[in-house]
Amino acid sequence: MIDTHVHYDDEAFDSDRESLLASLAEAGVGRVIDIASSAESLDKVMELTRRCPFVYGALGLHPDSAGELTDEALHKIEEGLCDPKIVAVGEIGLDYYWNKEAKELQIDVFRRQIETALRCGKPIAIHSREAAEDTLKVLMDYYGRGGPGEKLERKGVMHCYSYSPELAEIYTRKLGFFLGIGGVVTFKNAKKLVETVKRIPLSFLLLETDCPYLAPVPFRGKRNSSLHLHLAAEKIAEIKGISAEEVMRATEENAKKLFWPEK
């Protein structure tokens, strides 16, 4: 399995990071993508990818950190994307739930980072919370008909997808984005996500944990890790009426298609 969205650079793993990472192979996790979220995390992600052969990275600023996108930070992101261990720009996007940064600034920073991804030929990992309309508008400008990224095969993933099944159809079938599915799909109140997983073909789904956040049932509320990745796969399999092994195999191939097309 490939965990396409983790935060092992987070301080939540400071006490046991090395031993935890060493245990992933035995749990069936072959690769993880450590995702930056702040200017400070850019260096941490790079350092972790250099130290651990199976850890890859994505560089970008979360919308809550939009104010940190200086010219220096943007240069660091673009320079880092030349490293073969850095496979995407992320996590970038819009967050109107916390609204820690002005909406106009979030949109501007989102656009600037998409443009960086397009210049460097990298896919994007998108964070979008309570910002469905503006997120779709921005993505349509770049990846919709006539946009500079319209014909790219490697576009990106809607991380921790939380919107409607109808919108999922647009993101996947019309724009060609994948959906990141993690522990939330096991929650009792995840009716929209369950319906989305039921409706969207397996060829558009990726597995993720977003660890240390969003641990699946029965670990909800505790620190999450890639050791729980199989629980999301098993729930997807249950929803679709197929085997967990089929979900693991398909999502691994999807991840390779998006992040490692040359391998």
pLDDT in tens, 170-224: 999 999 999 999 999 999 999 999 999 999 999 999 999 999 999 999 999 999 9
pLDDT in tens, 127-165: 999 999 999 999 999 999 999 999 999 999 999 999 999
Which domain CATH number covers 210?
3.20.20.140
Count of beta carbons in the 10 Å neighbourhood of residue 245: 10
Query: How many angstroms separate the CA atoms of 50 and 11, rounded?
Result: 18
DSSP code per residue over 91-134: EEEEETTT--S-HHHHHHHHHHHHHHHHHHT--EEEEEES-HHH
Query: How many angstroms separate the CA atoms of 177 and 155, rounded?
Result: 6
Is the pLDDT at 263 greater than 80? The verdict is no
pLDDT in tens, 89-108: 999 999 999 989 999 999 99
pLDDT in tens, 37-83: 999 999 999 999 999 999 999 999 999 999 999 999 999 999 999 99
Is the pLDDT at 262 greater than 90? The verdict is no
Total domain count, the chain: 1
pTM of the model: 0.97
Is the pLDDT at 234 greater than 70? The verdict is yes
Residue 189 has a pLDDT of 95
DSSP code per residue over 126-185: EEEES-HHHHHHHHHHHHSTTSTTTT-S--EEETT--S-HHHHHIIIIIT--EEEE-GGG
Query: How many angstroms separate the CA atoms of 126 and 3, rounded?
Result: 15
For residue 194, what are the domain limits? 2-259
**Exposed e or buried b for every residue in 153-164, given b needs 16+ CB within 10 A?**
ebbbbbbbbbbe
